[in-house]
Amino acid sequence: MLLSDVAAELNVSDSQVYHMVRSGELPAIKIGGRGQWRVERARLEAYIEQKYAETADWVRENPLTDREAD
């Protein structure tokens, strides 16, 4: 997938996806003479699943509590 396709899938900016790829957060390959980035769909799906798991852990560790009335 092109980075722009990944951005559309995640509903984020192209530059945010580029940063995710360059930082190593999202696995990608650089191909062609102009060095265009590509993300394999299976890698994107694994990334999304990882983020769901991380979010679930965060929610468990940070339960939503009602504020006490003053």
Q: Assess if residue 69 is contained within a domain.
A: no
- Cβ atoms < 10 Å from Cβ of 27: 14
The model's pTM is 0.81
**What is the separation of C-alpha 11 from the centre of its chain, rounded to a whole number of angstroms?**
10
What is the domain count for the chain?
Answer: 1
Which range of residues forms the domain containing residue 57? Answer: 3-61
Two structure tokens written together for 40? 């394999």
Candidates 23, 22, 30; CA nearest to 2 is 30
Summarised one tens digit per residue, pLDDT across range 25-61 is: 999 999 998 999 999 999 999 999 999 999 999 999 9
For 52, half-sphere exposure in the C-beta direction (CA atoms, 13 angstrom radius) is 7
Q: Assess if residue 35 is contained within a domain.
A: yes
Q: Assess if residue 51 is contained within a domain.
A: yes
Q: Assess if residue 67 is contained within a domain.
A: no
Summarised one tens digit per residue, pLDDT across range 18-34 is: 999 999 999 999 999 89
Which 3 state secondary structure label does DSSP give 21? helix
